[in-house]
Structure 1
Amino acid sequence: MWGYSYPLDLQNEVTRREDQILDNLEVLIVGAGDARHIMKTLASSYMHPSQSITYHVIESSLEQVARSILLLSICLEKNLGLQEATRYYLEILGNTLLRPATAKYLAKCTKQLIDIPTCTIDCPWLSLEKFKHKDRDNLESIFKFWSRATCEGVPIINYWDRRIRKSLKTRYDCKEGVFDWDYYMVLKPRCINNLTIQEYRFWRNNGVAFTWLEGEPARSNPTLLNNIIQYGPGFIHYAYLGDIVNGPYFTWAVTEKKEDKKATDIAEREIMRAIHEIRTKEPLCEDYVGAHRDASILNGIIINEMPDIETENESWTNVGDKSKLDDKISWVEIPNHKIIFHPATSLELFKSKYEYVNRFHLVWIAHNMTKQLENLAPLASTGAPVIVESRKCMADLRKEDLENFTEELKELAQKNGLRLVHDFDSNEHTFAHFCKN
């Protein structure tokens, strides 16, 4: 549902290793879980020489493809205010419950995104041409389900609690102690400076990661549900199967130094900066961030108790002004950037297709996709960086697990013609940097 590493400016990762600037940069992103690297690269592009970039993206499920499209659409939509877009992004990314305003936006936006897989809406920054018609139909069904489920409500907090009970078993009655152990003994020293125990504990209990004073989360976020299939006039799904241990904080809330802010505030600042830079091609004034908020509450946890479950499941028969629903989304122009999604089956097929062998100037691989190195290494061009996400930020793994991951990754990379550029230890480093021999 989300990644476990901070976003990278992929253009910077390539150009700092190249003697000459390439006219067209092609990067392959495998299993990132969200669109953070694309968003960061878009935001930073004004700081680099003009260059066309094609992002080839492979995700393990169509739900993750749909979520990436939705999150990118939020970042690029012209008609959203900066703070508005920032909070929509963070809530949809990492909260089981949304504020009513965010839920209304989600219902409206996904109703419009339904037309993207059928190509009845012009989306110049996106291509789904690599998907078969069946996959496009399933993507359309996912957007339809999200729009309907946002209005009708789904018991996502019940789904969350079932996962917690199944995971902890007999330890469920002392779950607060389990949460505190994971925070103090694993995540705090290993991964993140600004995540507070209150934020982490609240998220572990109910899946709400980011909260603000302005509005209470009360509506289900159906974009976190899995295996959505259209069945007759309705839909079936596999409840919530995502992360219940680590949280979505490692994508945008990681900073090298301890600041007098909680993770929500850091993430809000970084998302706001990225969206501003995409829109204006200029850096964001630091004084703007948080200027609308009372400094006395910047570091406090806003929500202390959950809303009534009846509110979560209350059905909306009509969302917003009908005339506004008919408005087409207007996106910021990004003429030098193109995002192409590929089906998961491409992982095995690419290395046997001449057009993809030695094609990519950078390959980024998620921590759970390392077994695919055999298929992915031949796709990188000679000298290209291959970046692999580590498992450093996974609270359910201990030191020995990370040491094993480090050794296995090094061995697998060497076997597939990849040279380690910097020393790598999954206990210490967020990424392993390799180079194609």
Structure 2
Amino acid sequence: MWWGYSQPLDLQAEITQIEDCILNNLEVLIVGSGDARHIVKTLASSYTHPARTITYHIIEPTLEQVARSILLLSLCLEKDLGLQEATRYYLEILGNTLLRPATAKYLAKCAKQLIDIPTCTVECPWLSLEKFKHKDRDNLESIFKFWARATCEGVPIVNYWDRRIRKLLKTRYDYREGVFDWDYHMILKPRCITNLTIQEYRFWRNNGIAFTWLEGEPVRSNPTLLNNIIQLGPGFIHYAYLGDIVNGPFFTWAAVGKNDDKRRATDIAEREIMRAIYEIRTKEPLCEDHVGAHRDVSILNGIIVSEMPDIEMENESWISTEDKSKQDKKISWMEVPNHKIIFHPITSLESLKSKCEYINRFHLIWVAHNMTKQLSNLIPLISADAPMIVELRKYMADLRKEDLHDFTKELKEIARTNGLRSLYDFDSNAHTFARFCKN
């Protein structure tokens, strides 16, 4: 729910692979990606393509996912963060139930500043929420307020995680280490060649902490992973943690081919995020010497963290001591004048096909694996010969080969029924994406 199960794509490259694209204005639709990775990757790679305007139309199932995407995009575009600082903030907020204190302080500060975006009291030149109703914007504002407060006061997210594990495993809970090892060695490892280690996967399955470094312990709750946040009087209610507890956030930025340098998935993801943020800022390739964490490969195995911090540290409440001048300081973003991000409500999946201005409008549509039932609503929106990319379920450890085969068969039938032509014969056991065009 909170992250995707496929690597980020340079959407401009995907369009030009289909045809010699000479359009000056591209419009893409991204449905249910779970995070902002495709936008970040496309922004980072834009200097390698001819100058053109790109408008990203985004549909996410929940407002919490919309708020997280805004937060992660803001982080990548913020001028005042150091390169490694921004990289690690991004990874921790993306995939960790617990944050380092520095990351938690940034999250609390940033959430307070983002509160004004849904109400349009602060100008955000790269973002548009005009498609949302006032009620949805008010709810977005409440989500940012909750994040700022919950980061300081703390929420028992590790307990929420443990309850989910107990409910999933039931009588096997006492033997959970064996279950985690089986999922890793018998399912994930044969299915995907990555640098994900058993220590990283097992640690995440136990407590929800995916990315770790020696510099600082993760001790503060990450409230951006909580669901159904509603403001009730002076306080808030939420529905604990309902996200993924089986697969992990490793198969987005860390889903690259395994190599011989013995880096962890965390190190690979750190390098890729760092490269993306650097390229957004400088419009030039990243020199590997900038990736300081990977200079001495002899210490990488020592960076694997396998013990939880003292729970009392995590529950300690913070009191905001920032003065008014610091609170009023607005975020300074990088200028991305040729890129515009427009969020649409989930109801748009049904309504856009009835609006003339959206028929045959998009030059590319990307669809998440859990949104394939919506293809019939999306096909009228895509222009002739434009690519439609559908995420497959290769990296989902809770699915067996038979499940992946059934998903592949079902997707092919949906595509055939709705007039889509597959660009190659795909299989969820072997491929990460399926690519289609209109007949």
TM-score (norm 1): 0.98
How far apart in 1 are the matches of 2:294 and 2:373? Answer: 46
Which residue matches 1:345? 347
Contact 2:88/2:270 (8 A) holds in 1? yes
TM-aligned CA distance change 1:150 to 1:293, over 3 Å? farther
Is 2:287 aligned against 1:285?
Answer: yes
String of CA shifts for 1:372-422, please: whole Å, max 9, x gaps.
011011111010100000010100000000000001101101111110001
How far apart in 2 are the matches of 1:185 and 1:296? Answer: 29
Which residue matches 1:361? 363
**Residue type at the aligned position of 2:126:** W
Is 2:210 aligned against 1:209?
Answer: yes
Q: Percent identity?
A: 81
**Residue type at the aligned position of 1:242:** G
The Cα shift of 1:61 comes to 0.1
Which residue matches 1:396? 398
Is 2:107 aligned against 1:117?
Answer: no
String of CA shifts for 1:286-344, please: whole Å, max 9, x gaps.
12213586543223343221112221111101255553222110000000000000000
Query: Higher mean Cα deviation, 205-214 or 310-319?
Result: 310-319
Is 2:76 aligned against 1:75?
Answer: yes
Is 2:435 aligned against 1:425?
Answer: no
String of CA shifts for 1:262-286, please: whole Å, max 9, x gaps.
0000000000000000000000001
How far apart in 2 are the matches of 1:279 and 1:363? Answer: 27
Alpha-carbon RMSD: 1.1
Which residue matches 1:142? 143
Which residue matches 1:183? 184
TM-aligned CA distance change 1:369 to 1:292, over 3 Å? closer
How far apart in 1 are the matches of 2:119 and 2:249? Answer: 31
The counterpart of 1:317, out of the listed 316, 319, 324, is 319
Which residue matches 2:310? 308
Task: Kindly report which structure 2 residues correspond to 1:82-93, keeping only aligned pairs within 5 A, or say none.
Answer: 82-93=83-94
Contact 2:193/2:258 (8 A) holds in 1? no
Structure 1 residue runs without a partner (length 5+): none
**Residue type at the aligned position of 2:144:** F
Contact 1:108/1:319 (8 A) holds in 2? no
Aligned residue for 2:434, secondary structure, equals: strand
**Residue type at the aligned position of 1:375:** N
Which residue matches 1:60? 61
**Residue type at the aligned position of 1:114:** I
How far apart in 1 are the matches of 2:297 and 2:217? Answer: 19
Aligned residue for 1:395, secondary structure, equals: coil
Structure 2 residue runs without a partner (length 5+): none
Contact 2:267/2:293 (8 A) holds in 1? no
Aligned residue for 1:19, secondary structure, equals: coil
How far apart in 2 are the matches of 1:347 and 1:434? Answer: 19
Which residue matches 1:270? 272
How far apart in 2 are the matches of 1:105 and 1:192? Answer: 34
The counterpart of 2:415, out of the listed 413, 417, 421, is 413
Contact 1:199/1:301 (8 A) holds in 2? no
Contact 1:195/1:262 (8 A) holds in 2? yes
TM-score (norm 2): 0.98
Aligned residue for 2:356, secondary structure, equals: coil
How far apart in 1 are the matches of 2:29 and 2:429? Answer: 26
